[in-house]
Amino acid sequence: MDLDAVTDELYGLPPEDFTAVRDRRAQEARKSGDRELSGRIRRLRRPTLAAWACNLLVRDRPEETRLLLELGEELRRAHRDLDGAQLRQLSAEQHRITARLAREAADLTARAGHRIGDDAQREVTETLHAVLADPRAAGEWAAGRLDRPLPAPVGFAPDTAAPAPSRRPKATRTEKPAQRPAAEAPARDRGGAERARREQHKEADRARERARAAERELRAREKDHETAETEAHRADTRRQETEEEVARLTEQLDQARAQQRQARTEARGAHDRLRRAERALTEARQQAGRAAGRAEDAGDGKPRSRE
């Protein structure tokens, strides 16, 4: 048994089966003597419905998974190069493929016995957009082991589009100087494009900082969740051990009560036999006394007086 195989197994299960199988695998690892592996397995978190839907999509639709990952690489490259024409083309494809994959994820969960609601559907879509915008998110999703949906990307928005090309002013017949701005327009366009580029980089930096802050907050909340989950598991273990001890003691008590009932029955029978024996003894003594009296009378030749 190894962590990778167990993790892959668990995140392919329906969410309602996750905890029982996880605890069973952890117990098996503990019995085999690998306490560290047991602890790491127990720390694996049950996936939300949206995360499970994303995992199903990766596992059941490998070709679509590959296409989305490739589209993400192309989109990030076009965004980095500020290739407006490529961005416009890829943006349209982005919306088509994410909408189709979100529907397929919903269909997969429905066939597996779960229908996801609007909130979960939205989280699936946000995860797909995150995959397109962030290579790290793409790697997490492609592993098929999400326990939470990925947050919507910041900095590289799902509907990124190239800026509209600059429009040059039209020259008029009445204004001769219009010929000079035509020559100067490229310089102005370059200056405007450079300012737009700098502003875009600043906004990207601000977005990345917001993303890092959100990531730190997420990690803190995840740590709190893991701590609470560990405490809950320990409490469940203590409860299970206590219930087993109560069951064992209850069984012993039932056995003792059965033995007590049997002993009482045997005691009543013995007392009944004792009373019958005492009555028989008394009767025998009386008969013996009467017989002895008659024998004595017969020896004396005199009848005994009756009192």
Domain parsing of the chain, residue ranges: 47-164, 195-272
Report which of 266, 156, 162 is spatially closest to residue 201, judged by C-alpha positions. 156
Instruction: Report yes or no: 180 and 80 within 8 Å, Cβ to Cβ.
Output: no
Q: What is the reported pLDDT for 180?
A: 45
Could you say which residues of the chain have pLDDT below 70? Answer: 154-191, 211, 214-215, 218-219, 222-223, 225-226, 229-230, 233-234, 236-237, 240-241, 300-307
Are 61 and 104 in contact, with CB atoms under 8 Å apart?
yes
Per-residue pLDDT at 155:
52
* Cβ contact 125:98 at 8 Å: yes
- Quote the pTM value: 0.52
* pLDDT at site 171: 38
| Angle between the N-to-C axes of helices 62-81 and 135-142, in degrees from 0 to 180, rounded to the nearest 10 | 180
Q: Tokens for 229?
A: 């989950």
Q: What is the CA 19 to chain-centroid distance, rounded?
A: 7
Count helices and strands (H / E) in the chain: 9, 0
DSSP 83: -
The reported pLDDT for the residue numbered 182 is 45
